[in-house]
Amino acid sequence: MILLSRKPKSTAKVVPSPEAVYRPIRVDRLRMEELGMYDEPEWFDAEWMHQPAHANQQSFGHPTSGPLLVTALPETKSPKHKYVPNALADWRLCGRNDRPCQVTLVGTIGEQESKAQSHVQQIAVIARDLNRTLILPNMHKSRFGTCFHNRFDMYYDVGSLQTLGVRVATYEAFLEWAATRRTAPQAQVVEIMAWEQQTAYQSLAWQRCLAKAAPRLKWLKPAARLPVRNSKRFISSGRSVVKILSNGLPKILPSHPNMHDLDVPQIYALDWKLRHPVVSEVVGRYLTYSSKIVRRADDLLDAAGPVAVVHWRMESVPASGLVGCSKGLINTFEWMSQQVEFKDIRSVYLATDYPLENVSTRHSGTFRDVGQQHHAAIDVFRRAFQPGGPLEAYKLVSYLDLVHLVPWVETALEDDLGYLEVLPSVRGIGGRTFYAGRTFNKSLAARSRGRS
């Protein structure tokens, strides 16, 4: 029992009534959680779970002698979630009961979809080698991260990631685990960056978003930084990352008084800033797109008839060279028009991170500086298809030209302009003609030629 006293304002002696002195303070489950009074070891859970209160009380002697055994705690007034034993919550998320559930979570990845999916696979291998469950990142506008709108499985076949041998769980399942686990999980932010990228620490927007979505998480401070000596030449640094994380960051950081007796935090929340691979196992490996996206790509481009697919990402090209790129594409299609094998092609599907439908609407989460040189390049390319232009025999089509021909009910993806870049990549693999300027799409083009 806790007795609280307060110095009276007057000097008159205040004699509390017996009821005021001995009335027990009412403590609900939320307060017990905040005080850390649910931090018992798992064997206690297993041995005492579901046992009748009167049976357990016998081990304390007569009920009236010594401290009384608490047999019930009032719930909070409006509980959003019902807490469950740690072992049960861990089993639900990680599918195992031989050890506490530990997860790796993708806070954000600096690269966009084409390269970012390679980084997702690198993180999956690291999670596998750490014997952790990977929380599948969400996606929107070609970016991967915790707080984006759409589920991973809307874009990719989860099985193509699981073939790496990693255990996976959805972001929704993670939030349920964080909300219902009786002992709140501890989370550590780990920034993984190239050695030359190190700058002063800045607050992370995705961490604020995650803290709002999962308010019970106990964040360990400060954030950890793992600089990797990286370069354009492949460096296999993944093993060193695994070694450091498996040994436990608290051993190399200032002491954390709230770490209790855990060696490592249950959650590694990664802020992944690397541009080049650090895990050799996934180099040249690509995820399989979801069946819904594959069907959608087929339906759209089949509606266009025999088609040449052009995937043009402007963000990664110096703006001064964009008009030259347009002229080069025009020359390519002029050459195609004279080849017998391409005589049946009369449509050109253009997919680009340039906002064809609305200059103010960005397809990409990072392509922000759309300027006059970008507008000029697109204008040169479009005018080539007009009457009297060198490509007047072709019809230039984009997503907006085809979408009304094949209605779709998946509004979550339909509203994500970033996924439009995925469609030509998917369809280009099976097509005869596929032009791309990115390393990823060059690989797809090579695979496409191998099938023709």
- Gap between the Cα atoms of 205 and 42, Å rounded: 35
**Number of neighbours of residue 276 by Cβ within 10 angstroms:** 18
pLDDT at 258: 44
pLDDT at 7: 46
- What is the per-residue pLDDT across 389-409, written as a single tens digit (0 to 9) for each? 999 999 998 877 887 787 776
Measured in degrees and rounded to the nearest 5, phi and psi for residue 103 equal: -130, 160
Q: What's CA 113's distance to the chain center, in Å?
A: 12
- What is the per-residue pLDDT across 95-117, written as a single tens digit (0 to 9) for each? 977 778 999 999 999 888 778 88
Answer yes or no: are the C-beta atoms of 103 and 210 closer than 8 Å.
no
Closest C-alpha to 408, from 307, 316, 234, 292: 292
- What is the per-residue pLDDT across 66-87, written as a single tens digit (0 to 9) for each? 555 666 666 555 556 789 999 9
Answer yes or no: are the C-beta atoms of 141 and 418 closer than 8 Å.
yes
- What is the per-residue pLDDT across 149-196, written as a single tens digit (0 to 9) for each? 889 998 899 999 999 999 999 999 999 999 999 999 999 999 888 776
The identity of residue 112, as a single letter, is Q
- Gap between the Cα atoms of 315 and 364, Å rounded: 9
Closest C-alpha to 306, from 385, 393, 420, 414: 393
- Gap between the Cα atoms of 190 and 204, Å rounded: 11
- Gap between the Cα atoms of 132 and 296, Å rounded: 34
pLDDT of 120 higher than 60: yes
pLDDT at 417: 63
Answer yes or no: are the C-beta atoms of 345 and 393 closer than 8 Å.
no
Closest C-alpha to 139, from 155, 125, 120: 155
- Mean pLDDT value across the chain: 74
Specify burial of residue 354 (Cβ count, 10 A radius: 0-12, 13-18, 19+). buried
Tokens of 437: 């300027």
Count of alpha carbons within 13 angstroms of residue 7, beta-carbon side: 1
pLDDT at 281: 84
The identity of residue 141, as a single letter, is K
Average pLDDT over residues 266-284: 87
pLDDT at 53: 42
pLDDT at 442: 46
Work out the widest C-alpha separation in the chain, in whole angstroms. Answer: 109
Return the axis-axis angle of helices 422-430 and 439-451, rounded to nearest 10°: 30
Greatest mean pLDDT among 37-46, 325-334, 348-357, 400-409 lies in 325-334
Q: Which part of the chain has CATH 3.40.50?
A: 86-282, 291-451
Average pLDDT over residues 316-332: 88
In CATH terms, is domain 86-282 a member of 3.40.50?
yes
Closest C-alpha to 362, from 327, 314, 396, 321: 314
* Per-residue 3-state assignment (H helix, E strand, C coil) for the chain: CCCCCCCCCCCCCCCCCHHHHHCCCCCCHHHHHHCCCCCCCHHHHHHHCCCCHHHHHHHHCCCCCCCCCCCCCCCCCCCCCCCECHHHHHHHHHCCCCCCCCEEEEEEECCCHHHHHHHHHHHHHHHHHCCCEEECCEEECCEEECCCCECHHHCECHHHHHCCCCCEECHHHHHHHHHHECCCCEEEEEEEEEHHHCCCCCCCHHHHHHHHHCCCCEEEEEEEEEEECCCCCCCCCHHHHHHHHHHCHHHCCCCCHHHCCCCCCCEEEEEECCCCCCCHHHCCCCCCECHHHHHHHHHHHHHCCCEEEEEECCCCCCHHHHHHHHHHHHHHHHHHCCCHHHCCCCEEEEEECCCCCCCCCCCCCCCCCCCHHHHHHHHHHHHCCCCCCCCCCCEEECHHHHHHHCCCCCHHHHCCHHHHHHHHHHHHHHCCCEEECCHHHHHHHHHHHHHC
- Gap between the Cα atoms of 28 and 71, Å rounded: 13
Bridge partners, residue 145, by sequence: 108, 138
Beta pairing class for 138-140 and 143-145: antiparallel
pLDDT at 147: 86
Measured in degrees and rounded to the nearest 5, phi and psi for residue 176 equal: -65, -40
Specify burial of residue 27 (Cβ count, 10 A radius: 0-12, 13-18, 19+). middle
**Fold classified for 291-451:** Rossmann fold (3.40.50)
pLDDT at 412: 65
Quick one: pLDDT band at residue 425, thresholds 50, 70, 90?
Answer: low
Average pLDDT over residues 216-228: 85
Answer yes or no: are the C-beta atoms of 174 and 103 closer than 8 Å.
yes
Which range, of 260-264, 292-296, 406-410, 443-447, averages the lowest pLDDT? Answer: 443-447
pLDDT at 60: 43
* Per-residue 3-state assignment (H helix, E strand, C coil) for 325-344: HHHHHHHHHHHHCCCHHHCC
